[in-house]
A and B are shown apart, each in its own frame.
Chain A
Amino acid sequence: GQQVMQIPQYQHVQEGEDFTTYCNSSTTLSNIQWYKQRPGGHPVFLIQLVKSGEVKKQKRLTFQFGEAKKNSSLHITATQTTDVGTYFCGCAGGATNKLIFGTGTLLAVQP
């Protein structure tokens, strides 16, 4: 079945440093989504990428979809303490047509 790997599992940064998380699928995707979950909260949808090579930005967040539509990255420039949380990718396009979520990257930001 479809496998989704997300790395790293955990990253600790100083406030102001950059952060990147990567998501890799074993199968070609129809789209990929990113979610953020604050500690003690629920996942919140951030963005969806559909096109090969697509790049989208939301303020300090940059999302990329790979050319082969099998991987994606989320990059945060100049992290702030409000960026703390777990970032999940949700991959669509496997045989079941359901979202498969990565295991998430927990971001800790030290002031």
Chain B
Amino acid sequence: DAGITQSPRHKVTETGTPVTLRCHQTENHRYMYWYRQDPGHGLRLIHYSYGVKDTDKGEVSDGYSVSRSKTEDFLLTLESATSSQTSVYFCAISRTGHSYEQYFGPGTRLTVT
């Protein structure tokens, strides 16, 4: 399973509060990704990282920021959560590069009330 953990696994928060989700990997892979999964939309890329302090936006990045200060940790922050950010969030890693197979963490179910 590529040694990927996500925390928390479940969270309920109120609109307007900041939320940080953590992705941790144990195998020092360079490429890490954050996706959200919603019914009818599949997996959509929020942000990704190609190394420590190297991050970039995906297709649905508005309202989200990321940080990667260590190889093993990739943090996703919702600065001010909105109900439209209620979703399941998956972290993924790639061992070889952006276009290659990805291995996903167990996911975080976030509910914004």
Contacts and interface: CB of A to CB of B under 8 A. Distances in A.
A48 B106 CA distance: 21
B55 to A, nearest CB: 13
Given A98-B58, A101-B43, A42 B90 contact: yes
A97 interface: yes
B23 to A, nearest CB: 12
Nearest to A106: B39
Nearest to A97: B98
A45 B48 contact: no
Contact of B101 (A45, A101, A104): A45
Interface in A84-111: 88, 90, 92-93, 97-99, 101-104
Interface in B80-113: 90, 92, 98-107
Nearest to B91: A42
Query: Interface size bucket, B side?
Result: 20 to 34
A43 interface: yes
A48 B100 contact: yes
A92 B42 contact: no
A33 B100 CA distance: 8
B42 A31 contact: no
Interface in B29-79: 35, 40-45, 48, 58
B42 A101 contact: yes
Contacts of B107: 42
Interface in A32-49: 33, 41-45, 48
Contact of B90 (A6, A43, A45): A43
Contacts of B105: 42
Contact of B99 (A45, A88, A97): A97
B77 to A, nearest CB: 21
Contacts of B43: 43, 88, 101
A97 B99 CA distance: 6
A30 interface: yes
Interface of A: 6, 30-31, 33, 41-45, 48, 88, 90, 92-93, 97-99, 101-104
By Cβ-Cβ distance, the 3 closest A-B pairs, closest first, are A92-B99, A103-B42, A101-B43
